[in-house]
Chains A and B, each alone.
Chain A
Amino acid sequence: MKLKTTLLAVAALAVGAASGAQAQTKSTLEIVKERGYLNCQVGQPNPGFYSLDDKGQWSGHDVAFCRAVAAAIFGDPSKIEFQSVTSQVRFTSLANGESDMLSRTTTWTTTRDTQLGLDFTTVTFYDGQGFLVNKSMGITSAKQLNGASVCVLTGTTTELNLADYFRSQGMNFTPVTFEDVNVLVDTFLKGGCDAYTNDKSGLASRRSAFPTPGDYVILPETISKEPLGPVVREGDNQWGDIVRWSAFATIVAEELGINSGNVEEMRTTSKNPEIRRLLGVEGNLHTGLGLSNDWAYNIIKTVGNYGEIYEAFVGEKTPVNIPRAGSLNALWTNGGVLYAPPFR
C-alpha cells in the first residue's frame, strides 16, 4: 500500500515537471487572469498596514496597493485572495509562485533586491527607526539617551540598527530584548526600560493603545532608512511594471487632484492632457501593461488616490495616527519625497 503511494507520488512529480516545461512561457498576468483573482501576500496582522477587522476582511495601507493591482487588472479590487505568512518565509513564498506579489512592510535593501531573485517595484511608505520615551524623562533628542536601557524586538534589523546608532554616536546602552511585542509594550509601560525602539510607524500604532498616549513622545531622530514597498518575482518585467505603475497611478492621481469622488467627473470634463492620458481618455498608456485603457480609472475609483489610502489606514484620524504633513510620505510638492514619474 505504501509502495503504491510512493510510486504515485513519483509519477505525479514527473507529470508535474513535464507540464512545468510548457507552463514556463506563461506570463504572470496571463496566469492571474486565467485564475480570476490575484494572490497577494501580506504578513501576520500588523495594525494599519495589513490587519483583519471584526468582519473578517483584510484592510490597511499595504493591502490597498494589492487591491489597486487587482482593480487595474480586473476592474474589481475584491478579486483577490490574501496569503498571510510569517516574515521568515515571505520571500520563499513569493519565489515559489504561491503569491503573485508581496506587499507587507518589506524594506528595500541591496541584498534583498539583488540576491533573492526578487524585484522591488517602488516605495509606498517611507519608514524609519525611532525611539519612544516617557515625557517625564525630560528627553528631547536621541543623543541624550547615553546609558539608557532600550526595549527592542530580537532577531530583527531593528536590533542591529540600534547597535549601529549607539556605536556611531559613541554612547552606551543596555538592550532589553523581547520575542513578543505585547510583552515588550507591557514591560516598557511598567518602566522596565527607558526607551522603546522600532520603526516609527510601529511606535505610533503601539502608542495609540497605551493607557495614556499623551505621556509618551517619539524622538525626532530617525536612525535608519526603511523604504517599504511591493515586491515581485524577477524575470517578468511586464508584471513588475503593472505593480509599479499601479502604485504610481495613486500618487499621480493625488498630485493631479483626482480622488475616488471626482474621478468620474474628471474623466468626462477634464481638459488636462495628463489627466486624460491617466484616465485612458486619450493616448495608449495601457497597451504596454497589457491592461484595458481604464485601468488607472478603476484604481482611483475603487481604491482611491495615495492620500485617501494613507488617511484611511494610517492617517491622523485612525488609531495608528502617523501624521503625514512634513513627513517623507508627503507629496514632493508638499515637502515630502513621494514622487511618481510622469504619465506620458
Chain B
Amino acid sequence: MDGTQDSRGQRAVEKFVPKAERPPPMPVSGAIPWMRRNLFSTVVDSIVTIVVSGMLGVVIWNIVEWGIVDAVWTADNRRECMDQSMDGACWAGPALWFDNFIYGLYPETERWRVNLGAVVLALWLAPLFFARVTAKIPTAASVVLTYPLFASYLFYGGEKGIFWTAISALGLTMFIMALANAALELSGGRSIGKVMEDRFGLTSFRRKAIPVIVLWIAVAVVWSGVELEIVRTVKWGGLFVTLVISGIGITFALPAGIMLALGRRSRLPLIKYVCVVFIEVFRSVPLITVLFMATTMVPLFLPEGVTFDKLLRAIVAVCLFAAAYMAEVVRGGLQSVPKGQPEAAAALGLDYWRTTSLIVMPQALKLMIPNILSNFIGLFKDTTLVAIIGLFDLLGMVKAMSNDTNWIGLVDEPYLIAAFIYFCGCFAMSRYAKSLEQRLSTERR
C-alpha cells in the first residue's frame, strides 16, 4: 500500500480545490434562444431569415403606408380623396357608408330596432354562459322557438292584428321569464319553478305554465299599444340581413338535418325514400340555382298581385339547402357510433327515441362538432349569394358602395372591411366550437 497515510493509518484529506466554472448552459427558453434555434441555426438559415424578414418588412411597410400613413380619413367623395392623396387608402367613403354595411337600406330613424333586437338576443343567450343557471335547455329552446316571433315584428313592424300581438308578446314573455329566472338563480340559487313551488304550492307543469300565462296576458296588453313603422324586407340589408339569413339557416339546419338523417336510416320505406329524395335533390343542385328558382319560379305559380316575400323565399331556400347538407353530416356521425351502443340500449329496454336521444345522438353529435361547424361557416359565407337575387347583404352593400355616384370605383377599402367582418364572424364560431369540443370530450380529459 502506498500513498500518504497519517499516523492513524488513514488517507489524508486533500485540500478542497473547486473546479473551474463551466460556462452556463445555453438558455433554452426566451426569445433570443428561440430565434437562435429556429431562425439562425445555420448560415443558410440565417440568410433565408434575413431575406424573408426584409421582404416581409417591405410588404408590411407598404400596407401601413397605404392604409395609414397616406390614407385619407375625411372627404365627401372619391375625387376629394384623390386630391388629398393618390397612393393612400380612402377610408372616408367606408366611414360614411359603415352604417349601411351594418343595416343596409333600413331607414336611419328605425335602426334602433335592429340594435334592440341584437341586445335582446345577447341578453337572452347570456344565461347559457353561467354555470349557476340550471335552466339551460328551456332557455335555449325559448330563444330558438320564440325569439323569431318577437324579432320578426320588431324588425318588420306595421299593423299587428290580435294574432300577431299574441305571438310576438309570447316571444317577449319568454324573454322576461328567461331573464327573471337567470336573475333568481344567480342571486338566490332557485329557479322560477322552484320559487313558485315554494311560495304558492304549485307543482309539476303548472308551476311554470301559470306564471308564463299570467305574464303573457300582461305583456300582450301593454304590447298591443305599441305600433312600429313598417319596414318592408326589401329595405333590410347589410350585416343585419346576412345574420338573419345565416342565423335562421343555422338554427333550422341542425334539427332538420337530424330528422332527415334519422329518416334516411329509417326502416319505413316511405319516410326513408322521401328523405333520400329530398337530400339528393338539394345536394345535387348549386345553392345559386335554388335561390334563382325561389325568386323567379315561385311567383309564376302565385296568382297575380299575390306576392310572397323575397327575403322569406331566400331564407326558405337556404334552410332547405342547409338541412340537406347537414343531414349527411349527421348521418356520418351516426354511423361512427359503434353498433354495440344501440344494442346495449335495447338490452336495457330503451325504445327507439330514447336510444337515439340518450345513447346515439350525444355520442354522434360530439364527434360531429368540427364538421357541423365547417357547415355553419360555409353557410354564413354562402349567404353572400343572395346578393345575386337582389338582396343587399353585407357584400351587396359593399358592391353598392363602389357604384355610389360619389364613390365610383372605390372597391379595395370596402372589400377589406367586409373581409374583416366575415373573418371575425367565422373565427368567433370556430373558437366557440373548439371550446365546446374541449368541454364535451370527457373521455379524453
Contacts and interface: CB of A to CB of B under 8 A. Distances in A.
Interface stretch (B1-9, B76-84, B194-202): B76-84
B310 interface: yes
A20 B388 contact: no
Interface stretch (A127-135, A201-209, A224-232): A201-209
B281 to A, nearest CB: 12
A211 B405 contact: no
A56 B106 CA distance: 7
19 contacts: A3-B274, A16-B303, A20-B306, A23-B306, A26-B304, A45-B404, A52-B392, A52-B397, A54-B96, A56-B105, A81-B235, A83-B390, A85-B389, A92-B296, A185-B409, A206-B408, A319-B77, A319-B78, A319-B79
B252 interface: no
B310 A209 contact: no
Nearest to A81: B234
Closest 8 CB pairs of A and B: A20-B303, A45-B403, A209-B409, A209-B408, A96-B299, A85-B390, A56-B105, A84-B390
A182 B409 contact: yes
A93 B391 CA distance: 14
Given A3-B270, A53-B404, A206 B409 contact: yes
B100 A51 contact: no
A82 B234 contact: yes
Contact of B307 (A89, A98, A211): A98
B324 interface: no
> Looking at chain B, what size class is its interface with the partner chain?
35 or more
B303 A19 contact: yes
Given A56-B103, A85-B390, A89-B292, A31 B408 contact: no
Interface string A196-230: 00000000011011010000000000000000000
Interface centre among B104, B292, B296, B300 (most CB of A within 10 A): B296
B209 interface: no
A11 interface: no
B140 interface: no
Contacts of B86: 211
A24 interface: yes
Interface string A40-83: 00001111100111111100100000000000000000000111
Interface string A81-101: 111111001001100111000
A319 B408 contact: yes
B390 A319 contact: no
Given A31-B305, A97-B307, A182-B411, A52 B275 contact: no
A47 B403 contact: yes
Given A54-B97, A86-B390, A44 B296 contact: no
A116 interface: no
A137 interface: no
A24 B305 CA distance: 9
A195 B300 CA distance: 43
B65 to A, nearest CB: 17
Contact of B295 (A19, A24, A89, A319): A89
Given A45-B399, A97-B307, 11 more contacts: A23-B304, A23-B305, A35-B305, A44-B390, A52-B392, A56-B105, A84-B390, A84-B392, A96-B296, A98-B307, A208-B408
